[in-house]
Amino acid sequence: MQQPEAHSDHGTEHGASHGEEGFNAGEVIIDHVANSSPDHPILHLPSIAGVDLSISKHVLMLWIVATIVFTTITWTTRRYLKQKRPIPTGFMIMIEWLVQAVRDSIVRPNVGGKYVMTWAPLILTFFCFIVVANGIGLIPIFEVVGLIDHYLLHTGEHSFLKRLIHGGTTATANYNVTAALAVITFFAIIIAGTKAHGFVQHWKNLVPSGLPKFVYVILIPIELMGMVVKPFALTMRLAANMMGGHIAILAILSFVFLFYELFQSAIVGVGVGVALSIPLAVGISTLEILVILVQAYVFTLLTAVFIGMAINVHH
Amino acid sequence: MENLHLFGAALGLGMIVIGAGLAIGKFAAAAAESIARQPSAADKITGAVNLPLFLLEGATILAEVFVLLIVFS
């Protein structure tokens, strides 16, 4: 993070000539990736029991994602069920393929044949939600609103539209969102173990039986820690992956402005943009499409593996 | 002297990349070798390699997050 400081120094050198404040790459990138500040959410709502219910940009994105997933999938499935001959067409083919792939290649090998239909719905929900939430962050919907605002409407600094523009972020890049998903996994593991073995037996299954007593002194704390570490690793993996990709893209795109400030000429900035930033950003965006799918797959696979570990105990 | 934490973060990031690179290289080498030896089991080998690969990735990402925390705090 030395870069922005160095350039703000540079900015003061040349600042007198054009009278603009320097471009702070770090600040802009964090502003794009992070949630909106508590003082300026998109929509102010009263806080209930100390919980601020204001709609920030990640909350907005979560609702959009939930709406998209819910409407497309229920609408397609309803339409399919209404048909006289049950032959899937169009989008339904994709849903059927997805359901079958998740059930047969993620859930069944890990959870086992007996509990497939119990846990496949949860894991499918995870998969659909995470794929859409990850993917929607790469689509610049709200930037179009921003362009219209910039050139046609000219609203104020903290207007509703200005706050809405920053909504186009990845909700899964927020640790709180992924933590909520991982908490569901945490309870799913306990419920799976309880359903398969009974409540007491599930906790007994955490450690293998028939070991010398002093081993348990070490083993029980480790296993209890492992219960928390599993969801924590899920949280961090998803959020950090999504955030990392966006930071990389934005950092590369900010070269344009950094070089413009360095040489004080728009041609250098645009040249760096065309020659370096845009090809690299396109490459990283392509990589991000892969990361989106892989991260959704990893989250669901690991959830299935953890649930399977609680059900099929090998001691 | 006041920016020593940045030095530590950069050093840590480099070491993370070395470790993760070595580990991924080992995974890829072992997977390629075993698939070459038994091409019919390629699907099973890929499945077996995937899970530890993701666990490795999780550890690496965690370390990188902590480096970012050093930088930003």
Give tens-digit pLDDT for A188-219.
Answer: 999 998 988 888 888 887 887 777 888 888 88
Residue A286 lies in a domain: yes
Asked if the ipTM is above 0.95, the reply is no
Which pair of structure tokens corresponds to residue A80?
Answer: 């399919």
> What is the least distance, in Å, from the CA of A236 to any CA of chain B?
6
pLDDT of amino acid A6 = 40
Of A234, A236, A302, the CB nearest to B65: A236
CA distances (Å), origin A98, targets A123, A237, B70: 12, 23, 41
pLDDT band for A3, please (50, 70, 90 cuts).
very low
Note whether B72 contacts A2, CB cutoff 8 Å.
Answer: no
A293 falls within a domain: yes
pTM over 0.90: no
Q: Does A298 lie at the interface with B, CB-CB under 8 angstroms? A: yes
Instruction: Give the nearest chain A residue to B52 (CA atoms).
Output: A302
Q: Is residue A55 helix, strand or coil?
A: strand
**DSSP class of residue A88?**
-
- Domain for residue A36, yes or no? no
Query: Residue A23: inside a domain, yes or no?
Result: no
Q: Does residue A48 sit within a domain?
A: no
Total number of domains in chain B: 1
* pLDDT less than 50: residues of chain B: none
* pLDDT over 70 (residue A157): no
Round to whole Å and give the CA distance between A234 and A185: 9
Say if A310 is an interface residue toward chain B (CB within 8 Å). Answer: no
Q: CA of B9: how far to CAs of A2, A34, A149, A173, in Å?
A: 12, 21, 40, 22
- The residue segments making up the domain with residue A153 are 54-311
pLDDT in tens, A93-133: 999 999 999 998 888 888 888 888 889 999 999 999 999 99
Within a domain: residue A282? yes
Residue range of the domain that includes B25: 4-72
Contact check, Cβ <8 Å, A236/B50? no
Q: What CATH number corresponds to the domain at position B46?
A: 1.20.20.10
Total domains present in chain A: 1
Q: Under an 8 A CB cutoff, do A301 and B50 touch? A: yes
